[in-house]
Chain A
Amino acid sequence: MHRALISGIAIAILCSVIGLFLVLRRYSLFGDAIAHSSFGGIALGLLAGVYPLWTAYGVSIASALIITKIKDRYNISGDASIAVLLSSGIAVGLVIIGLSGGFTIDIFSFLFGSILLVSVNDTVLILSLTGGILIVILLLYRQILYSTFNEEQAKVSGIPVEKINYLIVFMAGITVVTSIQLVGVLLISALFVIPNVTAIMYGKGFKQTAIISMSFSIFSVVVGILLSYIFDITPAGTIVLLAISLLAGTMGIKSSGLLSKS
């Protein structure tokens, strides 16, 4: 239980930070696309008898980087490239599962998450990946923010924008596969997108927006895990519903005019 909470908090922070950059790059569904391609990776691992999370990391990161390369090279729009990535991951997964003789219970837990079953090793992995990614983001904070805000101007300021883009895609790949244990493949982009969309509505500067988003994300995950434990319901659905109610609440406050300009 406390393992679930600790891992959950780490994933909440990670998803909200990476998600903020994706949302601002109009790449909201990228998390979803990587998650779906990780489905292909998981199926591959199950077929090959390798721990599925490892193959998921490999396949997701590789396909995320490849699709980004193709997108730049052939000038395909962001949303179209996401559609390609998303469907090819599922297609590969389905074919492999067919070859290996049908769905198993393992696949189910990857689709919907299984945070309450997270092991000590998993927790250590989640914590170190979260720590690593947060350090990278803190070190390159200005470069990442600037190239997200305006690529051209960032380039003129001497920022290696293309490298930064690949770095973000790479970190997003790691984040998604890491977070699969919490909410599963199907609800991953909820954690990437909803707390950030909510936080952006408060009209604050960048750091405050990131902090608001993280707080909402942590709240949803912690309360979601506790509720699901108490009432014996699925954590993934509960977490996402909590995040959505924070969004709805914020919209309510905003339209009632209480959240006017600071």
Chain B
Amino acid sequence: MLKIVEIENLTVQYPDVKALDDVSFEINQGDFLGIIGPNGAGKSTLFDSMLGLNTKYKGTIKFFGEDIRKSKNYLKEIGYVPQKPIFEKNFPVTVTDVVRMGLRNESDENKIDEILQQLWIHELRNRRIGELSGGQQQRVFIAKALIINPRILILDEPVTGIDQQSIDLFYSILRELNSKQKITIIWSSHDLDAVNQLANHVACLNRTLFFHGESEKFFSNDELVKQYSEASMQEHMHHH
């Protein structure tokens, strides 16, 4: 199996906290990896480091066998949907404008139409992005991520604040992308049930990586699931 990502001894020290501590794992082509962990576990920090947004890390991150410190070429293969896409609410861009931004070279209007149809947002194409609901916006950002035909899709808690119906649609789209188009998906979530249903691999993160492997192994091990739930619970109490 082709190794897409290799993370070796990744440590990220912010001024006040160590967000990641000696994390190592690999992601293979075609994996649908669910990364679970409580608030503050370091999920976004892991993504930021993988995407070159945070360069102050110790350890090594490789994409397609190449250290990302050496070349930024790997970014061409990545579609990224951030946890909270921040933009001005009245930013004068339409849905089509946003998706077009994702394209690297000249725009291909047919391709844009096709993607918008695939994600059920074609009828919104001339609306401004800021006027849409959270779930609709999310789908626009996924369209923007997919327009470059990425080999890897990275999604940071993509369904926060979105209604159940949109979530179901969204998950079915992800499943199709992974199974039919063979896109490797790396996806962080708080929703254990969803990870259980969708992902074929699980990484359980809470500053350190305390499980990584096939999702059946994780979910069939009651002890692990219980441990994870307790860790999340403690984190939760901690915040109140």
| A196 to chain B: closest residue by CB | B92
Please tell me if B134 contacts chain A, counting CB pairs below 8 Å: no
Count, chain A residues at interface, CB 8 A:
22
Residue in contact with A262 in the complex, picked from B78, B91, B126, B144, CB distance below 8 Å: B126
Contacts of B26 in A (CB 8 A): none
In the bound assembly, the distance between CA atoms of A209 and B88 in angstroms comes to 15
Q: Is the CB of B101 within 8 A of A149?
A: yes
Within A198-215, the residues touching B (CB, 8 Å) are 199-200, 203-206, 209
Q: Is the CB of A261 within 8 A of B91?
A: no
Residue in contact with B92 in the complex, picked from A26, A153, A209, CB distance below 8 Å: A209
| A149 to chain B: closest residue by CB | B87
Interface size class of B (residues with CB under 8 A): 20 to 34
Contacts of B51 in A (CB 8 A): 155-156
Within A62-91, the residues touching B (CB, 8 Å) are none
Q: Is the CB of A156 within 8 A of B53?
A: yes
Q: Is the CB of B101 within 8 A of A145?
A: yes
Contacts of B78 in A (CB 8 A): 156
Contacts of A206 in B (CB 8 A): 92-94, 97
Q: Is the CB of A24 within 8 A of B91?
A: yes
Please tell me if B178 contacts chain A, counting CB pairs below 8 Å: no
| B129 to chain A: closest residue by CB | A149
Q: Is the CB of B102 within 8 A of A155?
A: no
Q: Is the CB of B85 within 8 A of A153?
A: yes
Contacts of A142 in B (CB 8 A): 100-101, 103
Within B83-120, the residues touching A (CB, 8 Å) are 85-88, 90-94, 96-98, 100-104
| B95 to chain A: closest residue by CB | A205
| B88 to chain A: closest residue by CB | A24
Residue in contact with B101 in the complex, picked from A146, A199, A200, A261, CB distance below 8 Å: A146
Q: Is the CB of B128 within 8 A of A156?
A: no
Within A164-193, the residues touching B (CB, 8 Å) are none
Please tell me if B82 contacts chain A, counting CB pairs below 8 Å: yes
In the bound assembly, the distance between CA atoms of A203 and B92 in angstroms comes to 7
Q: Is the CB of B53 within 8 A of A152?
A: yes
Contacts of A199 in B (CB 8 A): 92
Please tell me if A128 contacts chain B, counting CB pairs below 8 Å: no
Q: Tell me how far the C-beta of B113 lies from the nearest C-beta in chain A, rounded to whole angstroms.
A: 15
Contacts of A205 in B (CB 8 A): 92-94, 96-97, 126, 128
In the bound assembly, the distance between CA atoms of A199 and B92 in angstroms comes to 9
In the bound assembly, the distance between CA atoms of A205 and B126 in angstroms comes to 8
Please tell me if A158 contacts chain B, counting CB pairs below 8 Å: yes
Please tell me if B187 contacts chain A, counting CB pairs below 8 Å: no
Please tell me if A119 contacts chain B, counting CB pairs below 8 Å: no
Contacts of A245 in B (CB 8 A): none
Q: Tell me how far the C-beta of A167 lies from the nearest C-beta in chain B, rounded to whole angstroms.
A: 18
Please tell me if B52 contacts chain A, counting CB pairs below 8 Å: yes
Within A206-262, the residues touching B (CB, 8 Å) are 206, 209, 261-262
A203-B128 contact in complex given A149-B98, A155-B52, C-beta closer than 8 Å: yes
0/1 string, A21-41, CB within 8 A of B gives 1 = 000101000000000000000
13 contacts between A and B (CB under 8 A): A142-B100, A145-B93, A149-B87, A155-B51, A155-B53, A156-B80, A157-B102, A158-B72, A158-B75, A200-B90, A206-B92, A261-B127, A261-B131
A contact set with B: CB distance below 8 Å: 24, 26, 142, 145-146, 149-150, 152-153, 155-158, 199-200, 203-206, 209, 261-262
